[in-house]
Amino acid sequence: MALKELNFEFKAATPKTIKKEWAHLGVVGSGDMEVLLEKRRLNGAVKVKVVTPVTGFEKVWELVLAKVVKDNNLGDVYMEINDNNATPIVASMRLRQALAEASKPEREVEENA
């Protein structure tokens, strides 16, 4: 009954890391999830940890995450996801939103400077 932890590792063809040191997006509501992206030296790989109460969806998570990594050529990123029954489409949308958040300037004030 305890929470399950899934771990994945991916490698894109031409990996590049995110702009911010770290970025966070999402709220762990019912059917939703949050993701924390951290810049980390991983030899171009992306490591992902998913914490979820749902069993039996390891393969689906792998497919969703692999696609996001491939489509965005992600590398040297450590990703941690807290899930509460997010569907695959919600998961990939939140990941894309988090990547958009990670590509913003570090602080809002710098944006206007």
Partner 1 sequence: MLNWEKLQQLNFTDANARERAFGLVDKGSFTEFVSPRDKMSSPHLPVLGEAIEFDDGIVTGLGLLGSRPVFVISQEGKFIGGAIGEVGGAKMVKTIKLALQTYERVKKITPASYEKRLPAVIISFETGGVRLHEANAGLLAHAEVMDQIQDARGKIPIIAVIGSKVGCFGGMGFVAAATDIIVMSENGRLGLTGPEVIEQEMGKDEFDAANKALVFRTTGGKHKYIMQDCNFLVEDSVRAFRTQLKEIMNIPFPEIEKYRRIGSLQLVEEQLELVKSAVTIGPKDAQDMWKYYGNDNPQALADISPKEFLATVKRRERVI
- The footprint of partner 1 (CB under 8 A) covers 1-3, 22, 24-25, 27-30, 32, 34, 36, 38, 51-53, 80, 82-85, 101, 107-109, 111
CB nearer to partner 1: pick between 12 and 38: 38
Closest contact distance (angstroms) between CB of 48 and partner 1 is: 15
Closest contact distance (angstroms) between CB of 96 and partner 1 is: 15
CB nearer to partner 1: pick between 40 and 70: 40
Q: How far apart are CA 68 and CA 98, in angstroms?
A: 11
Q: How far apart are CA 47 and CA 110, in angstroms?
A: 30
Closest contact distance (angstroms) between CB of 28 and partner 1 is: 4
Closest contact distance (angstroms) between CB of 14 and partner 1 is: 27
Which residues are CB-neighbours of 3 under 8 A, at least 6 positions away? 51, 52, 53
- From edge to edge, which strands make up the β-sheet containing 77-84? 4-11, 45-52, 77-84, 32-39, 22-25
